[in-house]
Structure 1
Amino acid sequence: MTLTDLTVRKVVVATMYGKERAFGPVLAKRLGWDLVVPDGFDTDALGTFTGEVPRSGTIEETAIAKARLGAAETGLSLAIASEGAYGPHPHFPFLGAGLEIAVLLDTHTGRVIREHILDERPVYDHITYGSQTELDSFLDRIRFPQQTVILRNQGKTDKIFKGIQDRDSLGTALIALSKSSAGETILIQTDMPAHLNPRRMESLGLLAEKLADRLTCKCPACDAAGFGLTDTRKGLRCAGCGHPTRLAVGEIWSCTVCSHLSHQPRRDGLAEADPGQCERCNP
């Protein structure tokens, strides 16, 4: 079964952290797909958020590697996988952001359809342990215990307490870290696996919708599924001086089968850039 025909019913989702709960309902409703999760699947072998296993490639390469492993494990020809990266916002580095990428791999043809979403309000935060008041404020802010936390000595990965979701376990971890590494700073941070981070699971649900949108969009030239946004055209002109800026003036949609391209306008209808975003007006 290839991606020019979406009547396939069983598709593997390569996850060990419950991502089928985000992708499954959307793809069942939109495409009639039944997602299969491999038994005993270990995606941590490709990298962990806490750093014990470094990720060897980009998040897209890691997502594709997960999909290949999932397909090999189940024998199914179509495989979905996703990968996320969290850190400073690409345009506002004092804010956090999360990039989530999903791929659909057709093992018969090697074709990959990609989709992504940028979460500009992730639950991605940390504090160094100081006082109980500061800790309580942090836990309230991230909505603990629905959002779990990690405790570790800052800069070390040899002693980590993950998936903490109750006050007793939190206290036990604090005591253990204080005794084992006297005088070292204790770092408390949000846990990032999807099943322990409700905001991330919500983002994956939105990503599933975007992936379904792409899969139901056919190429106007060859009728293959997956036609959609792959790049942008820079050069939106400044409303003040008319100089081209680094902002996108439009979108480029393309097909991964026949390479057909289509130039599309910005979806938000913005026709001119604010002078504050112009390198000439605001160097």
Structure 2
Amino acid sequence: MSSRAHSRYLGRRACLATLHDKLDLIAPAMESHLGLEVFVEGVDTDRFGTFSGEVPRPRSAYETALIKARAGMVASDARFGLASEGSIGTNSFFPLVSDVEFVVFIDDEEGFEVAEQATSFDIVAHRWVVDDLRTDGDQLHRAGFPSHGLIVHPEDSSLPVFKGIHDLDELESAVRTCRSSGSAQVVIESDLRANHCPSRRPTIRRAAERLAERLTKHCPSCECPGWGPVDEVRGRKCAECRWPTNERLALVMGCCRCDLRRTDQVTTEPGDPSRCPRCNP
């Protein structure tokens, strides 16, 4: 019999807190794996932070997703809640723009919360500054315009901000308005909200699929749904010198509710010498 038939969520309903058209990214996996019906509660999730920066996001993407899910549950009086949040940017170690998407699930009946994530380097995220009214076709191409939306605002101020621009005439009008506000330069950047950024959407869908699959797995001790990876052990031995590297040696599997932990998926493959502190200090 399928995991869906055994699911404690079969025929139940969960609230998805979103303003940005994520239902078709998250609901199908929940229904197919769990029989869980997902409905949208249109709470103002922008108050917890915006990509455009008007509202700072003081917490991590994971924590923000939990806050959003809880807000949806409160607004809809639901026992189960879902939400997602992305973290998009670069770091000093890897110059490509990464998109890390978290999808979280809260179950107030069983008393647990769980998340899964997915990462992609395929997201279209671009920013440039213009000092006249001309639009640069090469820059627009790099920004994925018009399928990917744009945000326009003066460089020396966060206001006015024009969002969700997919039309060239609208883009030029926004630039003119910003210039007329007294700003010498105008910023044009990707609108990273999920309903305006198609290249984010597959990553959210993949995280939701992983979460739904995880919810079909139960703790061997307390039977709570959501058994899965909670940590990892590093120290795979270098193929050249056998010194411990920083590569993953094993996964630590655990329960979302009780303290049960088990080491799993121990690899016997040697570590990459390029990741070894002795061979490649």
Could you tell me the TM-score, scaled by structure 1's length? 0.90
Say whether residues 1:29 and 2:32 are aligned partners: yes
Q: Once the two structures are superposed, what CA deviation does each residue of 1:155-203 show, in whole Å capped at 9, x if it has no partner?
A: 531221111000000111111222223423x221111111111111111
Say whether residues 1:261 and 2:264 are aligned partners: no
Residue in structure 1 matched with residue 275 of structure 2 by the alignment: 277
Determine if contact 2:111/2:257 at 8 Å carries over to the other structure. Answer: no
Pick the aligned partner of 1:59 from 44, 61, 64.
61
Residue in structure 2 matched with residue 179 of structure 1 by the alignment: 180
- Structure 1 residues 212 and 219: alpha-carbon distance in aligned structure 2, compared to 1, 3 A threshold: same
- Structure 1 residues 280 and 26: alpha-carbon distance in aligned structure 2, compared to 1, 3 A threshold: same
Q: What is the rounded CA distance, in whole Å, between the counterparts of 2:166 and 2:199 in structure 1?
A: 16
Once the 2 structures are TM-superposed, how far is the Cα of residue 259 of structure 1 from its aligned partner?
2.0
SS at match of 2:137: helix
SS at match of 1:175: helix
Q: What is the rounded CA distance, in whole Å, between the counterparts of 1:183 and 1:142 in structure 2?
A: 22
Residue in structure 1 matched with residue 155 of structure 2 by the alignment: 154
Say whether residues 1:194 and 2:179 are aligned partners: no
Alignment coverage as a number of residue pairs: 275
SS at match of 2:81: strand
More deviation, 77-86/98-107: 98-107
Residue in structure 2 matched with residue 43 of structure 1 by the alignment: 45
Determine if contact 1:71/1:107 at 8 Å carries over to the other structure. Answer: no
Q: Once the two structures are superposed, what CA deviation does each residue of 1:121-171 show, in whole Å capped at 9, x if it has no partner?
A: 222221223689983112223321111011122353122111100000011
Determine if contact 2:14/2:78 at 8 Å carries over to the other structure. Answer: yes
1:85-234 → structure 2 map (5 Å cutoff): 85-89=87-91, 91-92=93-94, 94-129=95-130, 135-154=136-155, 156-184=157-185, 186-234=186-234
Unaligned runs of 5+ in 2: 1-6
Letter in 2 for 1:282: N
- Residue identity (%): 32
Could you tell me the TM-score, scaled by structure 2's length? 0.90
Say whether residues 1:242 and 2:245 are aligned partners: no
Once the 2 structures are TM-superposed, how far is the Cα of residue 216 of structure 1 from its aligned partner?
0.9
Residue in structure 2 matched with residue 6 of structure 1 by the alignment: 9
More deviation, 169-178/104-113: 104-113
CA RMSD of aligned residues (A): 2.1
Determine if contact 1:148/1:190 at 8 Å carries over to the other structure. Answer: yes
Q: What is the rounded CA distance, in whole Å, between the counterparts of 1:108 and 1:219 in structure 2?
A: 16
SS at match of 2:199: helix
